Structure 1
Amino acid sequence: MTPPHAPDSRWSDLDRPPLNTAALRRGIVVPGGLWTSLEVVAATGSTNSDLAARAAALPEGAVLIAEEQTAGRGRLDRTWSAPARSGLFFSVLLRPGPDVPATRWGWLPLLAGVAAATGLARAAGVDMSLKWPNDLLVTVKGEERKTGGILAERAGDDAVVLGIGINVSLNAEELPVPAAGSLGLANAVSTDRDPLLRAVLRALEKWYTDWRAADGDPAACGLQEAYAAGCATLGRQVRAELPGGTSVTGEALALDGDGRLVLATRDGQRHPVSAGDIVHLRPSDSD
Protein backbone atom coordinates (compact mmCIF):
# COMPACT_ATOMS: atom_id res chain seq x y z
CA MET A 1 0.00 0.00 0.00
CA THR A 2 1.34 3.43 -0.94
CA PRO A 3 2.04 5.60 2.11
CA PRO A 4 -0.18 8.70 2.31
CA HIS A 5 2.78 11.05 2.00
CA ALA A 6 4.10 9.52 -1.23
CA PRO A 7 4.05 11.89 -4.25
CA ASP A 8 1.83 9.56 -6.31
CA SER A 9 -0.77 9.01 -3.60
CA ARG A 10 -4.23 10.33 -4.38
CA TRP A 11 -4.20 11.74 -0.82
CA SER A 12 -0.73 13.33 -1.09
CA ASP A 13 -2.25 16.83 -0.74
CA LEU A 14 -4.73 16.73 2.13
CA ASP A 15 -5.96 20.24 1.26
CA ARG A 16 -7.01 18.92 -2.15
CA PRO A 17 -8.83 15.63 -1.63
CA PRO A 18 -10.08 13.64 -4.62
CA LEU A 19 -13.64 13.96 -5.81
CA ASN A 20 -16.10 11.51 -4.29
CA THR A 21 -17.21 9.71 -7.44
CA ALA A 22 -19.85 7.51 -5.80
CA ALA A 23 -21.52 10.45 -4.04
CA LEU A 24 -21.44 12.55 -7.20
CA ARG A 25 -23.13 9.78 -9.18
CA ARG A 26 -25.85 9.42 -6.53
CA GLY A 27 -26.54 13.15 -6.61
CA ILE A 28 -26.26 13.78 -10.35
CA VAL A 29 -27.18 10.63 -12.29
CA VAL A 30 -30.87 10.27 -11.43
CA PRO A 31 -33.81 8.71 -13.30
CA GLY A 32 -35.36 11.13 -15.75
CA GLY A 33 -32.48 13.59 -15.46
CA LEU A 34 -30.15 14.86 -18.17
CA TRP A 35 -26.97 13.28 -16.80
CA THR A 36 -26.73 9.61 -17.75
CA SER A 37 -23.21 8.70 -16.61
CA LEU A 38 -20.40 10.26 -14.60
CA GLU A 39 -16.77 9.17 -14.75
CA VAL A 40 -13.78 10.58 -12.89
CA VAL A 41 -10.25 9.84 -14.12
CA ALA A 42 -7.03 10.65 -12.29
CA ALA A 43 -5.43 12.37 -15.28
CA THR A 44 -5.86 12.77 -19.00
CA GLY A 45 -4.74 15.02 -21.79
CA SER A 46 -8.12 16.60 -22.52
CA THR A 47 -11.58 15.58 -21.34
CA ASN A 48 -13.02 17.20 -24.47
CA SER A 49 -10.86 15.06 -26.76
CA ASP A 50 -11.59 11.91 -24.81
CA LEU A 51 -15.35 12.43 -24.73
CA ALA A 52 -15.50 13.43 -28.40
CA ALA A 53 -13.64 10.25 -29.36
CA ARG A 54 -16.24 8.15 -27.54
CA ALA A 55 -19.29 10.25 -28.43
CA ALA A 56 -20.74 7.84 -31.00
CA ALA A 57 -21.03 5.10 -28.37
CA LEU A 58 -22.44 7.24 -25.58
CA PRO A 59 -25.91 8.63 -24.86
CA GLU A 60 -26.55 12.28 -24.26
CA GLY A 61 -25.65 13.40 -20.76
CA ALA A 62 -22.31 11.63 -20.32
CA VAL A 63 -20.01 13.54 -17.94
CA LEU A 64 -16.23 13.04 -17.90
CA ILE A 65 -14.15 14.67 -15.16
CA ALA A 66 -10.36 14.69 -14.76
CA GLU A 67 -8.57 15.36 -11.51
CA GLU A 68 -5.75 16.69 -13.69
CA GLN A 69 -5.52 17.69 -17.35
CA THR A 70 -2.11 17.57 -18.97
CA ALA A 71 -3.16 18.98 -22.35
CA GLY A 72 -6.33 20.93 -21.58
CA ARG A 73 -7.41 23.26 -24.37
CA GLY A 74 -9.14 26.59 -24.41
CA ARG A 75 -10.33 28.76 -27.25
CA LEU A 76 -7.90 29.43 -30.13
CA ASP A 77 -5.94 26.29 -29.17
CA ARG A 78 -4.61 27.84 -25.98
CA THR A 79 -3.47 25.47 -23.26
CA TRP A 80 -5.11 25.18 -19.86
CA SER A 81 -3.10 23.66 -17.03
CA ALA A 82 -3.32 23.55 -13.24
CA PRO A 83 -2.08 21.35 -10.38
CA ALA A 84 -3.93 18.10 -9.75
CA ARG A 85 -7.23 18.48 -7.86
CA SER A 86 -6.89 22.28 -7.80
CA GLY A 87 -9.89 22.87 -10.03
CA LEU A 88 -12.81 21.41 -11.91
CA PHE A 89 -11.94 20.10 -15.37
CA PHE A 90 -14.81 18.32 -17.07
CA SER A 91 -16.74 17.81 -20.28
CA VAL A 92 -20.34 16.88 -21.03
CA LEU A 93 -21.94 15.35 -24.12
CA LEU A 94 -25.08 17.02 -25.48
CA ARG A 95 -27.31 16.19 -28.45
CA PRO A 96 -29.55 19.24 -28.99
CA GLY A 97 -31.18 18.06 -32.21
CA PRO A 98 -33.68 17.58 -33.62
CA ASP A 99 -35.43 19.97 -31.22
CA VAL A 100 -32.92 22.77 -31.72
CA PRO A 101 -31.82 23.96 -35.19
CA ALA A 102 -28.08 23.76 -35.69
CA THR A 103 -28.02 27.51 -36.34
CA ARG A 104 -28.76 28.03 -32.63
CA TRP A 105 -26.12 25.65 -31.28
CA GLY A 106 -23.72 28.58 -31.05
CA TRP A 107 -25.58 29.58 -27.88
CA LEU A 108 -24.33 26.49 -26.03
CA PRO A 109 -21.02 27.96 -24.73
CA LEU A 110 -22.89 31.10 -23.62
CA LEU A 111 -25.49 28.91 -21.93
CA ALA A 112 -22.72 27.03 -20.16
CA GLY A 113 -21.26 30.34 -19.01
CA VAL A 114 -24.54 31.42 -17.45
CA ALA A 115 -24.95 28.03 -15.77
CA ALA A 116 -21.41 27.96 -14.40
CA ALA A 117 -21.58 31.55 -13.14
CA THR A 118 -24.93 31.09 -11.39
CA GLY A 119 -24.01 27.70 -9.94
CA LEU A 120 -20.66 28.89 -8.61
CA ALA A 121 -22.08 32.12 -7.23
CA ARG A 122 -24.52 30.12 -5.10
CA ALA A 123 -22.16 27.35 -4.02
CA ALA A 124 -18.95 29.34 -3.54
CA GLY A 125 -20.46 32.63 -2.42
CA VAL A 126 -18.39 34.58 -4.95
CA ASP A 127 -19.59 37.29 -7.33
CA MET A 128 -19.16 35.94 -10.84
CA SER A 129 -19.37 37.70 -14.18
CA LEU A 130 -18.94 36.74 -17.82
CA LYS A 131 -16.53 38.08 -20.40
CA TRP A 132 -17.86 37.49 -23.89
CA PRO A 133 -17.98 34.90 -25.19
CA ASN A 134 -17.05 32.31 -22.61
CA ASP A 135 -14.70 33.45 -19.83
CA LEU A 136 -15.70 33.29 -16.16
CA LEU A 137 -14.47 36.26 -14.15
CA VAL A 138 -13.98 36.88 -10.43
CA THR A 139 -12.59 39.89 -8.57
CA VAL A 140 -9.23 39.50 -6.86
CA LYS A 141 -7.87 42.52 -4.97
CA GLY A 142 -10.13 44.83 -6.96
CA GLU A 143 -9.14 43.44 -10.35
CA GLU A 144 -11.08 41.30 -12.81
CA ARG A 145 -9.42 37.91 -13.16
CA LYS A 146 -10.27 34.94 -15.36
CA THR A 147 -11.04 31.90 -13.22
CA GLY A 148 -12.64 29.68 -15.83
CA GLY A 149 -13.38 29.08 -19.46
CA ILE A 150 -15.62 27.06 -21.76
CA LEU A 151 -14.91 25.27 -25.02
CA ALA A 152 -17.64 23.83 -27.25
CA GLU A 153 -16.73 21.39 -30.03
CA ARG A 154 -18.83 19.41 -32.48
CA ALA A 155 -18.63 15.63 -32.16
CA GLY A 156 -20.03 14.20 -35.36
CA ASP A 157 -23.21 15.51 -36.94
CA ASP A 158 -25.51 15.41 -33.95
CA ALA A 159 -23.46 16.06 -30.80
CA VAL A 160 -21.60 18.81 -29.00
CA VAL A 161 -18.98 18.35 -26.31
CA LEU A 162 -18.90 21.19 -23.80
CA GLY A 163 -15.70 21.50 -21.80
CA ILE A 164 -15.52 23.61 -18.64
CA GLY A 165 -12.40 24.43 -16.67
CA ILE A 166 -12.54 26.30 -13.36
CA ASN A 167 -9.64 27.29 -11.11
CA VAL A 168 -10.83 26.51 -7.59
CA SER A 169 -8.01 26.47 -5.03
CA LEU A 170 -5.00 27.77 -6.95
CA ASN A 171 -2.83 30.16 -4.98
CA ALA A 172 -1.02 33.14 -6.46
CA GLU A 173 2.20 31.19 -7.10
CA GLU A 174 0.32 28.50 -9.04
CA LEU A 175 -1.51 30.76 -11.48
CA PRO A 176 -0.55 30.12 -15.11
CA VAL A 177 -0.48 33.87 -15.87
CA PRO A 178 -0.73 36.94 -13.61
CA ALA A 179 -4.14 37.86 -15.06
CA ALA A 180 -5.66 34.55 -13.94
CA GLY A 181 -7.58 34.02 -10.73
CA SER A 182 -9.28 31.35 -8.68
CA LEU A 183 -12.29 31.00 -6.43
CA GLY A 184 -9.97 30.72 -3.45
CA LEU A 185 -8.20 33.98 -4.28
CA ALA A 186 -11.64 35.62 -4.64
CA ASN A 187 -12.41 34.63 -1.02
CA ALA A 188 -14.87 31.85 -1.76
CA VAL A 189 -16.75 30.61 1.28
CA SER A 190 -15.99 27.07 0.12
CA THR A 191 -13.49 25.43 -2.22
CA ASP A 192 -14.95 21.95 -1.71
CA ARG A 193 -15.11 20.76 -5.31
CA ASP A 194 -17.89 18.20 -4.84
CA PRO A 195 -20.70 20.69 -4.08
CA LEU A 196 -19.26 23.15 -6.61
CA LEU A 197 -19.43 20.56 -9.37
CA ARG A 198 -22.95 19.50 -8.40
CA ALA A 199 -24.08 23.12 -8.43
CA VAL A 200 -22.68 23.74 -11.92
CA LEU A 201 -24.11 20.52 -13.39
CA ARG A 202 -27.55 21.17 -11.91
CA ALA A 203 -27.58 24.73 -13.26
CA LEU A 204 -26.40 23.48 -16.64
CA GLU A 205 -29.18 20.89 -16.72
CA LYS A 206 -31.82 23.53 -15.93
CA TRP A 207 -30.65 26.02 -18.55
CA TYR A 208 -30.12 23.38 -21.22
CA THR A 209 -33.53 21.81 -20.61
CA ASP A 210 -35.28 25.19 -20.79
CA TRP A 211 -33.34 26.20 -23.91
CA ARG A 212 -34.12 22.95 -25.69
CA ALA A 213 -37.80 23.19 -24.71
CA ALA A 214 -37.84 26.64 -26.36
CA ASP A 215 -36.36 25.15 -29.58
CA GLY A 216 -33.12 26.95 -28.81
CA ASP A 217 -34.72 30.41 -28.83
CA PRO A 218 -32.45 32.37 -26.44
CA ALA A 219 -35.02 35.11 -25.85
CA ALA A 220 -37.95 32.79 -25.16
CA CYS A 221 -36.10 30.80 -22.48
CA GLY A 222 -34.54 33.86 -20.83
CA LEU A 223 -30.98 32.92 -21.79
CA GLN A 224 -30.23 36.05 -23.79
CA GLU A 225 -31.42 38.29 -20.94
CA ALA A 226 -29.56 36.30 -18.28
CA TYR A 227 -26.31 36.38 -20.23
CA ALA A 228 -26.59 40.13 -20.79
CA ALA A 229 -27.32 40.71 -17.10
CA GLY A 230 -24.18 38.86 -16.04
CA CYS A 231 -21.89 40.04 -18.82
CA ALA A 232 -19.08 42.35 -17.72
CA THR A 233 -18.28 43.16 -21.37
CA LEU A 234 -21.51 45.02 -22.17
CA GLY A 235 -21.33 48.78 -21.74
CA ARG A 236 -17.52 48.74 -21.87
CA GLN A 237 -15.04 50.06 -24.37
CA VAL A 238 -13.42 46.98 -25.86
CA ARG A 239 -11.07 45.89 -28.57
CA ALA A 240 -12.13 42.86 -30.57
CA GLU A 241 -9.11 41.06 -31.98
CA LEU A 242 -10.55 39.19 -34.93
CA PRO A 243 -9.40 36.12 -36.87
CA GLY A 244 -6.99 37.17 -39.58
CA GLY A 245 -5.17 39.74 -37.48
CA THR A 246 -7.62 42.66 -37.75
CA SER A 247 -9.33 44.39 -34.84
CA VAL A 248 -12.32 46.61 -34.06
CA THR A 249 -12.53 49.01 -31.12
CA GLY A 250 -15.80 50.35 -29.79
CA GLU A 251 -18.47 50.15 -27.15
CA ALA A 252 -20.01 46.74 -26.52
CA LEU A 253 -23.69 47.53 -26.92
CA ALA A 254 -25.60 44.26 -26.90
CA LEU A 255 -25.86 40.61 -27.81
CA ASP A 256 -27.89 39.89 -30.91
CA GLY A 257 -30.13 36.88 -31.44
CA ASP A 258 -27.21 34.79 -32.70
CA GLY A 259 -25.11 35.49 -29.60
CA ARG A 260 -22.82 37.89 -31.43
CA LEU A 261 -21.36 40.89 -29.61
CA VAL A 262 -22.48 44.14 -31.23
CA LEU A 263 -19.86 46.93 -31.12
CA ALA A 264 -20.51 50.61 -31.85
CA THR A 265 -17.47 52.39 -33.26
CA ARG A 266 -16.76 56.12 -33.17
CA ASP A 267 -17.89 56.56 -36.75
CA GLY A 268 -21.40 55.42 -35.79
CA GLN A 269 -21.14 51.98 -37.37
CA ARG A 270 -22.30 48.81 -35.66
CA HIS A 271 -20.19 45.69 -35.98
CA PRO A 272 -21.49 42.27 -34.93
CA VAL A 273 -18.58 40.11 -33.75
CA SER A 274 -19.08 36.35 -33.93
CA ALA A 275 -15.57 35.21 -32.99
CA GLY A 276 -12.44 36.76 -31.59
CA ASP A 277 -10.60 37.84 -28.48
CA ILE A 278 -12.15 40.67 -26.47
CA VAL A 279 -9.94 43.03 -24.49
CA HIS A 280 -11.65 45.19 -21.87
CA LEU A 281 -10.15 48.65 -22.20
CA ARG A 282 -9.59 51.08 -19.34
CA PRO A 283 -10.76 54.70 -19.83
CA SER A 284 -7.12 55.73 -20.23
CA ASP A 285 -6.48 53.23 -23.00
CA SER A 286 -6.27 54.70 -26.47
CA ASP A 287 -7.48 53.10 -29.66
Structure 2
Amino acid sequence: MTEVILPIREQAKVLHLIGEPDFRDVRLRWEYGGNEDEDLQKLLAFQIHYCELQAWGQYRCRTKVVDNFEEERSSRMTIETTTNKVPAGKRGRTYTTYISGLRMATTYSFEVRPVKREARDLADPQSIGSKIIIVPTKGFSARATQCLPHASEVEVSTGPFFGGRIAVEAADGGPERCSLQGNPNSAQDAYILRIHHEECGSEVNETTVATYVIVQENLPILTHSTRRFLVLCTYKPETLTVRAGINLPKTNPGDVLLETKPQGI
Protein backbone atom coordinates (compact mmCIF):
# COMPACT_ATOMS: atom_id res chain seq x y z
CA MET A 1 0.00 0.00 0.00
CA THR A 2 1.41 3.32 -1.06
CA GLU A 3 1.03 6.31 1.23
CA VAL A 4 0.28 9.56 -0.56
CA ILE A 5 1.11 12.84 1.16
CA LEU A 6 -0.81 15.82 -0.15
CA PRO A 7 0.65 19.30 0.31
CA ILE A 8 -1.28 21.72 2.48
CA ARG A 9 -2.38 24.70 0.42
CA GLU A 10 -1.22 27.97 1.94
CA GLN A 11 -3.94 30.35 3.10
CA ALA A 12 -4.30 33.34 0.77
CA LYS A 13 -2.96 36.56 2.28
CA VAL A 14 -2.76 40.24 1.52
CA LEU A 15 0.72 40.85 0.13
CA HIS A 16 2.85 43.80 -0.98
CA LEU A 17 0.58 46.43 0.55
CA ILE A 18 1.85 49.93 -0.27
CA GLY A 19 0.47 53.42 0.26
CA GLU A 20 0.98 56.44 -1.99
CA PRO A 21 0.17 59.54 0.10
CA ASP A 22 -1.13 62.91 -0.95
CA PHE A 23 -2.17 65.82 1.26
CA ARG A 24 -5.60 64.48 2.29
CA ASP A 25 -5.84 61.03 0.76
CA VAL A 26 -3.82 57.85 0.32
CA ARG A 27 -3.89 55.42 -2.58
CA LEU A 28 -3.56 51.83 -1.37
CA ARG A 29 -2.37 48.98 -3.58
CA TRP A 30 -2.00 45.32 -2.63
CA GLU A 31 -2.05 41.78 -3.97
CA TYR A 32 -4.28 38.94 -2.91
CA GLY A 33 -4.88 35.33 -3.90
CA GLY A 34 -2.67 32.75 -5.51
CA ASN A 35 -3.01 30.52 -8.48
CA GLU A 36 -6.19 28.95 -7.16
CA ASP A 37 -9.40 30.66 -8.26
CA GLU A 38 -11.04 29.24 -5.14
CA ASP A 39 -9.64 32.07 -3.02
CA LEU A 40 -11.07 34.71 -5.34
CA GLN A 41 -14.46 32.97 -5.54
CA LYS A 42 -14.75 33.12 -1.75
CA LEU A 43 -13.72 36.78 -1.61
CA LEU A 44 -16.60 39.17 -0.92
CA ALA A 45 -14.73 42.38 -0.17
CA PHE A 46 -11.80 43.93 1.64
CA GLN A 47 -12.12 45.68 4.96
CA ILE A 48 -9.73 48.59 5.51
CA HIS A 49 -9.20 49.69 9.10
CA TYR A 50 -7.20 52.91 9.53
CA CYS A 51 -6.24 55.12 12.46
CA GLU A 52 -4.28 58.27 13.19
CA LEU A 53 -1.11 57.46 15.10
CA GLN A 54 -0.57 59.92 17.94
CA ALA A 55 1.95 59.93 20.78
CA TRP A 56 -0.61 58.24 23.05
CA GLY A 57 -1.63 55.58 20.52
CA GLN A 58 -4.26 55.08 17.84
CA TYR A 59 -6.86 57.83 17.44
CA ARG A 60 -9.87 58.55 15.21
CA CYS A 61 -10.06 54.99 13.91
CA ARG A 62 -12.39 54.27 11.01
CA THR A 63 -13.32 51.29 8.86
CA LYS A 64 -14.13 51.17 5.16
CA VAL A 65 -15.49 48.16 3.29
CA VAL A 66 -14.32 48.01 -0.32
CA ASP A 67 -16.30 45.77 -2.64
CA ASN A 68 -16.00 47.71 -5.90
CA PHE A 69 -12.22 47.66 -6.03
CA GLU A 70 -10.07 47.95 -9.14
CA GLU A 71 -8.15 44.79 -9.92
CA GLU A 72 -5.75 43.44 -12.48
CA ARG A 73 -4.28 39.99 -12.93
CA SER A 74 -0.56 39.59 -12.39
CA SER A 75 0.77 36.08 -12.88
CA ARG A 76 4.51 36.49 -12.45
CA MET A 77 6.85 38.89 -10.73
CA THR A 78 10.26 39.71 -12.19
CA ILE A 79 13.22 40.86 -10.10
CA GLU A 80 15.69 43.17 -11.86
CA THR A 81 19.35 42.25 -11.39
CA THR A 82 22.53 43.74 -12.79
CA THR A 83 22.82 41.00 -15.42
CA ASN A 84 19.40 39.52 -16.12
CA LYS A 85 15.78 39.25 -15.03
CA VAL A 86 14.88 36.44 -12.66
CA PRO A 87 11.25 35.26 -12.31
CA ALA A 88 10.38 35.28 -8.63
CA GLY A 89 7.27 33.17 -8.56
CA LYS A 90 3.57 33.63 -9.16
CA ARG A 91 1.33 36.24 -7.64
CA GLY A 92 -2.34 36.91 -7.27
CA ARG A 93 -4.33 39.91 -8.37
CA THR A 94 -3.52 43.54 -7.70
CA TYR A 95 -6.17 45.75 -6.08
CA THR A 96 -6.35 49.52 -5.71
CA THR A 97 -8.51 51.90 -3.69
CA TYR A 98 -8.37 55.46 -2.35
CA ILE A 99 -8.88 56.50 1.27
CA SER A 100 -9.92 60.15 1.34
CA GLY A 101 -10.97 62.65 3.98
CA LEU A 102 -7.67 62.34 5.86
CA ARG A 103 -5.82 65.06 7.74
CA MET A 104 -2.67 66.47 6.21
CA ALA A 105 0.72 66.09 7.93
CA THR A 106 -0.61 63.11 9.90
CA THR A 107 0.69 59.56 10.26
CA TYR A 108 -1.84 56.77 9.70
CA SER A 109 -1.87 53.00 10.08
CA PHE A 110 -3.73 51.02 7.41
CA GLU A 111 -4.79 47.39 7.78
CA VAL A 112 -6.32 45.52 4.84
CA ARG A 113 -8.31 42.37 5.64
CA PRO A 114 -9.95 40.00 3.15
CA VAL A 115 -13.63 39.29 3.85
CA LYS A 116 -14.70 35.81 2.74
CA ARG A 117 -18.08 34.16 2.40
CA GLU A 118 -17.54 31.92 5.41
CA ALA A 119 -16.49 34.83 7.64
CA ARG A 120 -18.70 35.00 10.72
CA ASP A 121 -17.80 38.51 11.73
CA LEU A 122 -16.90 41.25 9.26
CA ALA A 123 -14.94 43.16 11.90
CA ASP A 124 -13.15 40.14 13.35
CA PRO A 125 -9.75 41.44 14.49
CA GLN A 126 -8.35 37.92 14.11
CA SER A 127 -8.96 37.89 10.35
CA ILE A 128 -6.48 35.65 8.61
CA GLY A 129 -4.29 37.15 5.93
CA SER A 130 -4.40 40.83 6.90
CA LYS A 131 -1.56 43.30 6.32
CA ILE A 132 -0.66 46.57 8.12
CA ILE A 133 1.45 49.52 6.94
CA ILE A 134 2.24 53.01 8.28
CA VAL A 135 1.86 55.99 5.92
CA PRO A 136 2.24 59.75 6.68
CA THR A 137 0.18 62.17 4.60
CA LYS A 138 1.91 65.14 3.00
CA GLY A 139 2.40 68.45 4.79
CA PHE A 140 3.33 71.95 3.68
CA SER A 141 6.74 72.39 2.08
CA ALA A 142 8.60 75.42 0.75
CA ARG A 143 11.59 76.35 -1.36
CA ALA A 144 13.23 79.65 -2.20
CA THR A 145 13.05 80.36 -5.92
CA GLN A 146 14.67 83.80 -6.06
CA CYS A 147 16.82 85.87 -3.74
CA LEU A 148 17.86 89.47 -4.40
CA PRO A 149 19.18 92.16 -2.04
CA HIS A 150 15.80 93.91 -1.97
CA ALA A 151 13.36 90.98 -2.38
CA SER A 152 13.03 87.21 -2.38
CA GLU A 153 10.44 84.70 -3.57
CA VAL A 154 9.26 81.52 -1.87
CA GLU A 155 7.21 78.78 -3.49
CA VAL A 156 4.97 77.01 -0.95
CA SER A 157 3.42 73.63 -1.80
CA THR A 158 0.00 73.54 -0.14
CA GLY A 159 -1.93 70.90 -2.03
CA PRO A 160 -5.15 71.70 -3.93
CA PHE A 161 -8.11 73.62 -2.47
CA PHE A 162 -5.97 75.44 0.08
CA GLY A 163 -8.07 78.01 1.91
CA GLY A 164 -5.49 79.06 4.47
CA ARG A 165 -2.92 81.83 4.58
CA ILE A 166 0.78 82.30 3.84
CA ALA A 167 2.29 85.24 5.73
CA VAL A 168 5.62 86.80 6.66
CA GLU A 169 6.39 87.05 10.37
CA ALA A 170 7.94 90.51 10.90
CA ALA A 171 11.37 90.41 12.55
CA ASP A 172 10.59 93.50 14.63
CA GLY A 173 7.59 91.82 16.26
CA GLY A 174 5.14 94.12 14.53
CA PRO A 175 1.96 93.14 12.70
CA GLU A 176 1.99 91.03 9.54
CA ARG A 177 2.78 93.22 6.54
CA CYS A 178 2.94 90.70 3.70
CA SER A 179 0.59 87.77 3.17
CA LEU A 180 -1.57 86.01 0.62
CA GLN A 181 -4.80 84.07 0.94
CA GLY A 182 -5.39 80.67 -0.66
CA ASN A 183 -8.41 79.86 -2.81
CA PRO A 184 -10.39 76.92 -1.38
CA ASN A 185 -12.18 76.45 -4.71
CA SER A 186 -9.01 76.16 -6.79
CA ALA A 187 -7.05 73.04 -7.67
CA GLN A 188 -3.87 75.14 -7.57
CA ASP A 189 -1.41 73.24 -5.36
CA ALA A 190 1.38 75.81 -4.91
CA TYR A 191 1.65 79.55 -4.27
CA ILE A 192 4.51 82.01 -4.72
CA LEU A 193 4.99 84.67 -2.05
CA ARG A 194 7.16 87.64 -3.03
CA ILE A 195 8.85 89.18 -0.02
CA HIS A 196 10.02 92.79 -0.23
CA HIS A 197 12.56 92.78 2.58
CA GLU A 198 12.12 96.32 3.86
CA GLU A 199 8.36 96.39 3.49
CA CYS A 200 7.79 92.94 4.99
CA GLY A 201 10.11 93.37 7.96
CA SER A 202 12.83 90.86 7.09
CA GLU A 203 15.99 90.83 9.17
CA VAL A 204 18.74 92.29 6.96
CA ASN A 205 22.50 92.64 7.51
CA GLU A 206 25.45 93.11 5.16
CA THR A 207 25.43 89.58 3.69
CA THR A 208 22.24 87.83 4.82
CA VAL A 209 18.49 88.31 4.77
CA ALA A 210 16.40 86.14 7.13
CA THR A 211 12.62 85.88 6.79
CA TYR A 212 10.14 83.70 8.69
CA VAL A 213 7.10 82.52 6.74
CA ILE A 214 4.03 81.06 8.47
CA VAL A 215 1.69 78.69 6.57
CA GLN A 216 -1.70 78.03 8.18
CA GLU A 217 -4.37 75.59 7.03
CA ASN A 218 -7.16 77.04 9.16
CA LEU A 219 -7.71 80.61 10.30
CA PRO A 220 -7.42 82.10 12.81
CA ILE A 221 -6.29 79.10 14.90
CA LEU A 222 -2.96 77.28 14.75
CA THR A 223 -3.40 73.57 14.01
CA HIS A 224 -0.98 70.64 13.93
CA SER A 225 -0.40 71.24 10.21
CA THR A 226 0.83 74.84 10.69
CA ARG A 227 4.42 75.27 9.55
CA ARG A 228 6.99 78.01 10.14
CA PHE A 229 9.71 78.28 7.51
CA LEU A 230 13.00 80.14 7.83
CA VAL A 231 14.17 81.52 4.48
CA LEU A 232 17.83 82.56 4.42
CA CYS A 233 19.26 84.53 1.51
CA THR A 234 23.03 84.94 1.44
CA TYR A 235 24.55 87.11 -1.29
CA LYS A 236 28.16 87.67 -2.30
CA PRO A 237 29.72 90.11 -4.78
CA GLU A 238 29.59 87.72 -7.76
CA THR A 239 27.15 84.98 -6.84
CA LEU A 240 23.87 84.65 -5.06
CA THR A 241 23.09 81.66 -2.88
CA VAL A 242 19.55 80.71 -1.97
CA ARG A 243 19.09 78.53 1.08
CA ALA A 244 15.66 77.62 2.36
CA GLY A 245 15.12 75.75 5.59
CA ILE A 246 12.06 74.31 7.28
CA ASN A 247 11.93 74.80 11.04
CA LEU A 248 9.20 73.38 13.22
CA PRO A 249 9.14 75.92 16.07
CA LYS A 250 11.09 74.49 19.00
CA THR A 251 9.60 71.01 18.52
CA ASN A 252 11.91 69.15 16.17
CA PRO A 253 15.10 71.12 15.52
CA GLY A 254 16.57 68.22 13.58
CA ASP A 255 13.93 68.42 10.84
CA VAL A 256 15.76 70.78 8.50
CA LEU A 257 15.67 70.74 4.72
CA LEU A 258 18.36 72.73 2.95
CA GLU A 259 18.40 73.76 -0.68
CA THR A 260 21.37 75.62 -2.11
CA LYS A 261 21.38 77.17 -5.58
CA PRO A 262 23.94 79.64 -7.01
CA GLN A 263 22.57 82.44 -9.16
CA GLY A 264 24.28 85.26 -11.00
CA ILE A 265 23.28 88.84 -10.24
Would you say same fold, with TM above 0.5? no
Greater share of helix: 1
More strand by share: 2
Greater C-alpha radius of gyration: 2
Q: Give TM-score, length-normalised by structure 1.
A: 0.20
